[in-house]
Each structure stands twice: as C-alpha cells, then as structure tokens.
Structure 1
C-alpha cells in the first residue's frame, strides 16, 4: 500500500476522532460511540488510527452518530479522493469482472500509446478467449468474487479491437516466465503462444521479451501499464493502483525503459515463443 494512501487514511481517521470528541451532545468515548452505532470498540479504534478503510456507509453512520450529519459530504469526498487511486479488488469485483473490464476498455479507447510490462502472464490485449477464461476463473477463486467469466471474456476480447485502429501502438514487454506459466491447460497455452507469435507482425504491436538469462538493471517486479503520459495502472494482489501524477508516471516509464534494454525483439522473440511452445510437448 502506498505511503500517500496510508497518510490519507490516517488523516481521515484523525478527522473521525475530531468528530467524536466534538459531539454537540457531549464528548463521546470510543466505547460509547461503538454502543451507539452497534459496532465493536475495535472497529472504532481501527478507523480512527487509519488501520481500516471505512465504507461510505460507515462514514454516514459516524456523522449521524456524532450528531454532525452535515460532515458526511466532507468525509465521503475524502474517501472518494484516495480510493480513486487505490482500487481494492474486493470492492471492484463485488459485481464480477465484467464491470472492471468495461472500466479498462473505456480508458484504453481514449489512449493512443500503451506501454506495458508483464512478468508472469500474457498481456490481456493479446490473450485468446480460452486463456483469458482461465485467468478470470483463477482470480474469481482467489477473491471469492461473482462468477461472470463469459461476460468478462467478451469484454476483454472487444477491448482488443483497439489493436486494429490506425495510429494506435501497444509497446509491450514480457518476462520469459510469462510464456511458461501453466495457469491454463497445455493446449490452451499452446494456442495462446501461437496467437502471441502472430502478433509480432502487427504494425500496432511492438513485442519485446526479456529472456531468463538476460542481465537486468532492475528486478522484474509486478506488472504495470502506462496510458499515454496521463495514467499508470499497477496491479497487486489486494488492489489496482491508478496513479496520475507526473513524477510517478515518469518513474514507471524509467522502469519500462530499463527493462526494454534487456529485451529481445523480432526473430529472437519469436524463437523464445517457439521454444516455450515446444516445451509443452516434453514429457
């Protein structure tokens, strides 16, 4: 979790404490407010100390419980502000993967150049439907989210129409590990590798692969996307980070450029894909 996010949550917690202590009917203790709201005292403690992210409903209850209902709009604006940057998977996937894919599609549609780094999975813009289906299924199991796999797959496939628009450019880097990761049946992975090899010929795609044995100036850490020069999206196990400040975007582009220096392209990249496909036939 980012330092900025932690600081914003701590500041919100401090504001909640102020409201509790300035209750018009008299200063409330933590246990008193907990009883009033029907919560545990530990929840009061966690929210005030920035250890737990409140929901909008929590903030409404707090404002009403401290007899300062008018403060809700301020509290909700604070929450909306820092959650626009840290999008937890638990909340995003509450209604399944399709809404997340639609949000991504809207951002991709207004983007001209995509810079992508993936270290363990084939980039979504180049996935086959069967490969995408396996990915969505595994993540639904991990997060216990709604199963709308087929809707999510269709939305992801529609997103790939972007690749066939004039003037667009997908500049993707992948670690060789992504070619071998068995997150789907071998036959599905074989078809996916064929699709990846075919993408090398598209004029809108620039595909670089970082071989296992390549010297690295930085570790091949988690995946990220840079959309033009306006937004960086970073995926982690608990959340997506949507980062739009110039310094952060510049840092990720610096990381992308460092990884690019270790990548191979064209025939050399094709050989790595062919080698990975051949390995699927080995006993």
Structure 2
C-alpha cells in the first residue's frame, strides 16, 4: 500500500468518525447520503479510502454532520495528501510554464541534486530545441494549453544553477535516454554535442549506464533527490513528491546502486559519441 493510499484511508476514518459522533447522534450512511444528495456508494468510497474527496465534499460533510468547524482540519489533511501526489491534469491546467516555475524555485533552494533519467535527456542539460519537442509531445498527450515557448524559456533559465559555485548535479542517465528519437536527428545531434561539452563542468558529475552494463536493479522510473529533504518521481498521470525521510533514503539507495553500473569521464563520452555517430550512419 502506498503512502498516498494510507493517507486517504486515514482521512476516510476521520469522516466516518464525524458521521458516527455527530452532535445530534449517530447518522447512518444512508441518512447522510440522502442529506447530501449523494449516492450511498460515494459515502462508502470516501469512508473506505477508495475515492479522493474534493474540498467541497469535505465542507459539505462537515456541515451535514453538524461539525462545520472540522472543515479546516479535513482540508488540511486533504492538502497534505495531495502534496504527495500531484496529478498532471491539475498541474498543467494553466500550461507547462507554471510547472517549470515551480521547479525553478525548488532547484534554486537546492545545493546538491541526485538524478536518475531513463527515458530522456535531463532538463538541466537540454538544448532549447530538444526541450521544445519534449513539451510539444506532452502538450499533445495531456491536452494542455500550448505555451511551449514560455515553458522552454523558463526551463533554460533553470540551467543557470549549473554555473553557480558550490552547486552539484549528480546525474545518471540510462543509454536509452540518449537513443530515444524524441526529436529530428539534427536536433538530437546538437543535444548530444551539448552533453559531450558538459562533461568536465565543476558542478556536474555525469554518468551513463550503458546497455551492456551489469545492473543490480531494473532501470525503473526517473527521479530527482533535492539535497536530502525531498524525492520526486513521476509517471504518466502524476508526480510523487516524497519528503518522508524513509522514502528519501530509499531513493538515495536506488541512486547509489545505479551509480555502481555507470561509467564517467572519457568512458561516458565514448558512449555518447557512439550514439552521436549512429545519427550520421
């Protein structure tokens, strides 16, 4: 069971407690459903953690059980729950630019990042043309507002972090991220040249995990660790923001394990150069 599901079930138990301890006496689920104009199944799903409540659901629940003052507590629980799972549908409602601005603020407050990328070049090292194609693909997938140019500009601004002394990006990339044809060959060639030129930067430790490397873990999803306070991983529908120390420690162990399969320096350059050469074949 995920932390998100556990938190949703705890919220459901609190809702049931409010229903059963109403100032007017215990309210049955059927009676509460009738009072709210909801189906009985919604009451059951919310109380058993099988459905995520909206803020309006919580307000109506608190008022219908005679405990309107409980709304602030319930809403706080919901915000805590949503801070762990950030759906792309909600995040991209206003386009990619606001999401990129949030990430810029997060990166600006960080001195050391540990990153694993298995499907695309990391945003901290993307060229503007490569980033443009990435955003366009996701705009189509998520049917989000088309703000590509603004999103690219904000992402490029984030890269100034790499030129600030004392910062450190420890980046591991799966070879598949170098080979994924997410843009035209000319754009990809320039992107690979950017990676080749970045190796050796004082603020960057770039490792590549070749296809032929012996792995101690499956590649899994990409993730980012900010100092030791937060880990973020994403999937097609949402991002997970994890600030629990045990969760962060798990991602740190995963990164350290993948790091043992990576090559660096001249060997990493050789892998990238080989991929670059194949574009000209």
Quick check: TM above 0.5?
yes
Aligned positions of 1:1-283 closer than 5 A: 3-25=2-24, 27-282=26-281
Give the Cα separation in 2 of the matches to 1:161 and 1:221. Answer: 29
Q: Which consecutive residues of structure 1, in runs of 5 or more, have no partner in the other structure?
A: none
The TM-score normalised by the length of structure 1 is 0.92
For the residue of structure 2 that corresponds to 1:172, the secondary structure is strand
For the residue of structure 1 that corresponds to 2:263, the secondary structure is coil
Alpha-carbon shift at residue 31 of structure 1 (Å): 4.5
For the residue of structure 2 that corresponds to 1:220, the secondary structure is coil
Distance 1:95 1:43, change over 3 A: farther
Equivalent residues, number: 281
Give the Cα separation in 1 of the matches to 2:32 and 2:139. Answer: 37
Give the Cα separation in 1 of the matches to 2:248 and 2:91. Answer: 23
For the residue of structure 2 that corresponds to 1:84, the secondary structure is helix
Bigger mean CA deviation after superposition, 3-12 or 87-96: 87-96
For the residue of structure 2 that corresponds to 1:226, the secondary structure is strand
Alpha-carbon shift at residue 79 of structure 1 (Å): 0.9
The TM-score normalised by the length of structure 2 is 0.92
Alpha-carbon shift at residue 24 of structure 1 (Å): 4.2
Give the Cα separation in 2 of the matches to 1:281 and 1:97. Answer: 33
For the residue of structure 2 that corresponds to 1:157, the secondary structure is helix
